Amino acid sequence: MNPSAPRPEPPPLPALTRAEAEVLDAYLAVADLVGRINPTRSEHTYGALRAAQALVSRAAELRDALTLMHRRGESELHTATLAHALRVLDGERRTFRVTIPPQSPN
């Protein structure tokens, strides 16, 4: 791979309300932390402990963003738009660590 070659442009992020963007940011932060806590993918207790400690504040941010949406009358989540945004934000890779890895054939 040529390091000086131009990188392809990422797909555009769909239009989101500020609250939707905050929900996605907080959701991905929570997913990142849960992935670090996942006992099937973590190797050290200290890193998992630090992630678990940080999870509390990130979950509160997610709750607050959803509360704001609800108070503003945004009663529906536009799942197709939010799923597209999550894909643009590398959500599939970031949520992968939350899953249990496949069983090895041993």
In a domain, 81, yes or no: yes
8 Å CB contact between 24 and 86: yes
In a domain, 7, yes or no: no
Q: Which residues form the domain of 77? A: 18-97
In a domain, 104, yes or no: no
- pLDDT, averaged across the chain: 90
Range 61-83 average pLDDT: 93
Q: The pTM is what?
A: 0.82
In a domain, 53, yes or no: yes
User: For residue 3, what pLDDT is reported?
Assistant: 60
Q: Identify the residue with better confidence: 14 or 58.
A: 58
SS (H, E, C) the chain: CCCCCCCCCCCCCCCCCHHHHHHHHHHHHHHHHHHHHCCCCCCCHHHHHHHHHHHHHHHHHHHHHHHHHHHCCCCCCCHHHHHHHHHHCCHHHHHHCCCCCCCCCC
pLDDT, tens digit, 9 for 90 and up, residues 15-31: 898 889 999 999 999 99
In a domain, 12, yes or no: no
